[in-house]
């Protein structure tokens, strides 16, 4: 199910001058079609449409309409699931396990969660009575839509991130402009087509603009008609957008990079940890901000754990996403492929021990595939252990006691996710309290769900996505005080 056009002010349309760019599959490296390559004028039109829709329609005040429209879009996605999944498989390189989770099935659940939240959200709150300078007042707190939201999304799990942002924004009553990653345009533009065909969402409420020009996307941060920016991507780009948004003092939500650590205590179930680590680190070919890319192992079981996790990585099936036996697909593009292989060479030069993987798989001449890779004896201060690689590369690092484990885990600029594995719940909880991370799994737990707030500490971002806290990001708070007659 392919839609090559922009969606602006309720209309599917070509970009200014009919400009397009090639959409290339990471599976075959071949061009699979085109996408509209929007200009500054196209983005200006999208921003103007969103501004008018917010200021002059009932979208921000009509909660029943918003809930109904979100459910309509969910029903449309379900009806077209097979076709959209096939598009995602080709465009993103998504395997069947990925499509069953964040690439589609769990992603569309955000629509129903947001619809329910519209109906149960604390739109008004009684603050009670007070007296100031002898004057009695009765107060209430109102939560209202923040305005026009600029949503900028990445290519690693596009349907998941697109819907996580849009459902909260639209549910809260905002209007929005979505700018997806140029590598995955169709998983965004299909939403415009379905909205136009199957929902009652008014013109201008949601606009979808695909482009290869970063300066076009930057207009969202710079334009005073846009009230907030919601961005998921690299920390470097997050810093840039934050600076671009500063002159207009708009709200900025950032979900950025990670270098997450899993702490493996000596009493942990090593076989279970090895399997979880392999499947987690190789999910989406390691292209996930919250994936555990550092495995911190108690020295008393270190070599045993290295052997087990290496075997687990070697058992990961990978290749053509159309083959349901394959768990891992390719990296997204040539640039990312070169980046991951370069980090593997950096690891070798830094003296880390390459245990398994580390190259293009033999016999696979096409596609951006890299073998599942494990490095041991990694220096915690090295580039391999400090920088986000975004590929199927694991760093295994020994520790001697819990204090050292916490020091290593917290010893990066990031603080997105973490994991703790120990037979002692008391010990695990003590470690959790000391870790500077926004989401933490313990003993095989999994935090991900539409109602779970997601975000990080430090340079992993600002704010939270999903859950009620994610809904809050798209609202403003207004306090009203009523005088009480004598």
Domain that holds residue 468: 6-256+460-481
Question: Do residue 173 and residue 250 come from a single domain?
Answer: yes
CATH label of the domain that carries residue 24: 3.40.605.10
Which one, of 204, 206, 118, lies nearest residue 162 by Cα?
A: 206
**What confidence category does residue 155 fall into, taking pLDDT thresholds of 50, 70 and 90?**
very high
Question: Do residue 242 and residue 265 come from a single domain?
Answer: no
Residue 454 lies in a domain: no
Please, what's the largest Cα pairwise distance for the chain? Answer: 86
Judge whether residue 249 has pLDDT over 80: yes
Residue 143 lies in a domain: yes
pLDDT of residue 377: 98
Which one, of 67, 65, 66, 96, lies nearest residue 81 by Cα?
A: 96
- What is d(CA 67, CA 61) in angstroms, rounded to the nearest whole number? 12
Q: Give per-residue pLDDT as tens, 108-132.
A: 999 999 999 999 999 999 999 999 9
Question: Do residue 330 and residue 471 come from a single domain?
Answer: no
Residue 161 lies in a domain: yes
Judge whether residue 486 has pLDDT over 80: no
Which residues are catalytically annotated? 255, 289
Return phi, psi of residue 477, to 5°: -110, 130
Which one, of 388, 393, 389, 273, lies nearest residue 328 by Cα?
A: 393
Question: Do residue 25 and residue 64 come from a single domain?
Answer: yes
Provide the percentage of residues in the chain whose pLDDT is more than 90.
99
Question: Do residue 274 and residue 402 come from a single domain?
Answer: yes
**Three-state SS string across the chain, please?**
CCCCCEEECCEEECCHHHCEEEEECCCCCCEEEEEECCCHHHHHHHHHHHHHHHHHCCCCCCHHHHHHHHHHHHHHHHHCHHHHHHHHHHHHCCCHHHHCCCCCCCCCHHHHHHHHHHHHCCCEEEEEEEEECCEEEEEEEEEEECCEEEEECCCCCHHHHHHHHHHHHHHHCCEEEEECCCCCCHHHHHHHHHHHHHCCCCCCCEEECCCCCHHHHHHHHHCCCCCEEEEECCHHHHHHHHHHHHHHCCEEEEECCCCEEEEECCCCCHHHHHHHHHHHHHHHHHCCCCCEEEEEEEHHHHHHHHHHHHHHHHCCCECCCCCCCCCECCCCCHHHHHHHHHHHHHHHHCCCEEEECCCCCCCCCCCCCCCCEEEECCCCCCHHHHCCCCCCEEEEEEECCHHHHHHHHCCCCEECEEEEECCCHHHHHHHHHHCCCCEEEECCCCCCCCCCCECCEECCEECCECHHHHHHCCEEEEEEEEECCC
Residue 247 lies in a domain: yes
- What is d(CA 306, CA 72) in angstroms, rounded to the nearest whole number? 49
List C-alpha distances in Å: 45 to 9, 418, 429: 8, 42, 51
Question: Do residue 237 and residue 264 come from a single domain?
Answer: no
Residue 486 lies in a domain: no
Name residues whose C-beta falls within 8 Å of residue 447's C-beta, 6 or more positions apart in sequence.
439, 440, 441, 454
- What is d(CA 79, CA 266) in angstroms, rounded to the nearest whole number? 49
Cβ atoms of residues 411 and 382 within 8 Å: no
pLDDT of residue 153: 98
The whole-chain average pLDDT of the chain stands at: 97
Residue 455 lies in a domain: no
Residue 357 lies in a domain: yes
Q: Give per-residue pLDDT as tens, 191-243.
A: 999 999 999 999 999 999 999 999 999 999 999 999 999 999 999 999 999 99
Question: Do residue 386 and residue 440 come from a single domain?
Answer: yes
Q: Give per-residue pLDDT as tens, 341-400.
A: 999 999 999 999 999 999 999 989 999 999 999 999 999 999 999 999 999 999 999 999
pLDDT of residue 148: 98
- Residues in the chain, how many? 486
Taking residues 462-466, what's their average pLDDT? 97
Question: Do residue 86 and residue 196 come from a single domain?
Answer: yes
- What is d(CA 306, CA 308) in angstroms, rounded to the nearest whole number? 6
Question: Do residue 105 and residue 62 come from a single domain?
Answer: yes
Question: Do residue 224 and residue 287 come from a single domain?
Answer: no
- Global pTM value: 0.96
User: Which sign does the torsion angle of CA 22, 29, 333, 292 carry?
Assistant: positive
Phi-psi region of 158 (alpha: psi -120 to 50; beta: other; left: phi over 0): alpha
Question: Do residue 229 and residue 362 come from a single domain?
Answer: no
pLDDT of residue 485: 85
Half-sphere exposure of 67 (CA within 13 A, CB side): 12
**What confidence category does residue 256 fall into, taking pLDDT thresholds of 50, 70 and 90?**
very high
**What confidence category does residue 437 fall into, taking pLDDT thresholds of 50, 70 and 90?**
very high
pLDDT of residue 260: 98
Phi-psi region of 130 (alpha: psi -120 to 50; beta: other; left: phi over 0): beta
Q: Give per-residue pLDDT as tens, 48-103.
A: 999 999 999 999 999 999 999 999 999 999 999 999 999 999 999 999 999 999 99
CATH label of the domain that carries residue 292: 3.40.309.10
Half-sphere exposure of 170 (CA within 13 A, CB side): 33
Please give the tally of structural domains in the chain.
Answer: 2
Residue 222 lies in a domain: yes
- What is d(CA 52, CA 72) in angstroms, rounded to the nearest whole number? 23
Question: Do residue 439 and residue 465 come from a single domain?
Answer: no
């Amino acid at each position: 199910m392919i839609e090559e056009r922009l969606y602006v002010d309720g209309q599917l349309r070509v970009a200014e001058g009919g400009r397009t760019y090639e959409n290339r599959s990471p599976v075959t490296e071949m061009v699979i079609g085109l996408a509209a390559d929007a200009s500054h004028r196209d983005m200006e039109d999208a921003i103007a449409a969103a501004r008018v829709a917010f200021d002059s329609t009932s979208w921000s005040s009509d909660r029943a309409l918003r809930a109904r429209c979100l459910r309509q879009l969910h029903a449309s996605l379900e009806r077209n699931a097979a076709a959209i999944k096939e598009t995602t498989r080709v465009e993103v390189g998504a395997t069947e396990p990925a499509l069953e989770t964040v690439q589609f099935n769990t992603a569309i659940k955000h629509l129903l969660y947001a619809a329910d939240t519209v109906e149960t959200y604390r739109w008004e709150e009684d603050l009670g009575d007070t007296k100031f300078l002898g004057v009695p007042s009765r107060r209430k707190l109102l939560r209202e839509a923040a305005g026009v939201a600029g949503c900028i999304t990445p290519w690693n799990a596009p349907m998941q991130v697109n819907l996580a942002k849009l459902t909260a924004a639209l549910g809260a009553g905002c209007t929005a402009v979505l700018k997806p990653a140029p590598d995955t345009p169709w998983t965004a533009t299909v939403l415009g087509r379905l909205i136009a065909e199957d929902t009652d969402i008014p013109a201008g409420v949601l606009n979808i603009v695909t482009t290869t020009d970063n300066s076009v996307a930057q207009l969202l941060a710079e334009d005073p008609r846009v009230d907030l920016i919601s961005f998921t991507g690299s920390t470097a780009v997050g810093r840039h957008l934050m600076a671009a948004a500063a002159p207009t003092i708009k709200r900025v939500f950032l979900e950025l990079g990670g270098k997450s650590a899993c702490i493996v205590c000596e009493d942990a179930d090593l076989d279970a940890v090895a399997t979880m680590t392999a499947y987690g680190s190789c999910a989406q070919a390691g292209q996930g901000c919250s994936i555990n890319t550092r495995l911190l192992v108690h020295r008393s079981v270190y070599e045993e754990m290295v052997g087990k996790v290496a075997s687990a990585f070697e058992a990961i099936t990978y290749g053509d996403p159309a083959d349901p036996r394959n768990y891992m697909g390719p990296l997204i593009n040539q640039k990312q492929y070169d980046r991951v292989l370069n980090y593997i060479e950096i690891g070798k030069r830094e003296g880390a021990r390459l245990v398994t993987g580390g190259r293009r798989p033999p016999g696979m001449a096409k596609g951006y595939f890299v073998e599942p890779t494990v490095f041991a004896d990694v220096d915690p201060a090295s580039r391999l252990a400090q920088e986000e690689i975004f590929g199927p590369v694991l760093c295994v690092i020994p520790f001697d006691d819990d204090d050292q484990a916490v020091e290593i885990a917290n010893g990066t600029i990031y603080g997105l996710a973490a994991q703790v594995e120990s037979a002692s719940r008391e010990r695990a909880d003590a470690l959790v309290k000391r870790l500077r991370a926004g989401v933490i799994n313990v003993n095989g737990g999994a935090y991900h769900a539409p109602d779970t707030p997601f975000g990080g500490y430090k340079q992993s971002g600002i704010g939270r996505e999903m859950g009620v806290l994610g809904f809050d990001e798209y609202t403003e708070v207004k306090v009203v005080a009523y005088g009480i007659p004598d």
